[in-house]
Amino acid sequence: MKRSVVAVGALLLGVGAVMAQHDLVKQDQDTMKANAKNLGGVMIAMVKGEKPYDQTAVNAALAQLDDTAKKLPTMFPDSLKSAKFEGDYGPSPKVWEDKAGFKAKIDSFAKIVADAKAKIKDLDSLKVVAPAIGKECGGCHETFRVKNS
């Protein structure tokens, strides 16, 4: 009887760990999708003239990007090394293999977003700064993101 209880307990712990891992993966993916929505769907759309300039929307987009910059250092714990990321892309193993390089990219992203919050006051300043944020995102993706097969 005790063995059954221990076995069931171990099984429940294992299921709980898998579910927690899945929740972390989903949170990470939702954060990255929000980045794309706010950078591309809001700020770059304004730069391209697809949307009218709206400082309130820019401020909200920058706030979300800033929130991501604060979350990034803890978004990819070692427990996610072997996790399955749904969709087209997931983190490269380099996230865990080159922690110093990944941290440097995070720090650079955080700085450019903080600077953007102080600099973007109109469409002209948005046209200068938003592409730089996009370049920073893309630079990290080149090294620390892979296409899922």
Domain boundary assignment for the chain: 26-147
Write down the CATH number for the domain with range 26-147: 1.20.120.10
pLDDT per position as a tens digit, 46-99: 999 999 999 999 999 999 999 999 999 999 999 888 888 888 888 999 999 999
Instruction: Compute the half-sphere exposure of residue 60: CA atoms within 13 Å on the CB side of its CA.
Output: 10
Could you give phi then psi for residue 76, rounded to 5 degrees?
Answer: -125, 70
The reported pTM is 0.82
Q: How far is CA 104 from the centre of its chain?
A: 15
Whole-number Cα distances in Å, 75 to 21, 69, 88, 102, 103: 11, 10, 18, 12, 12
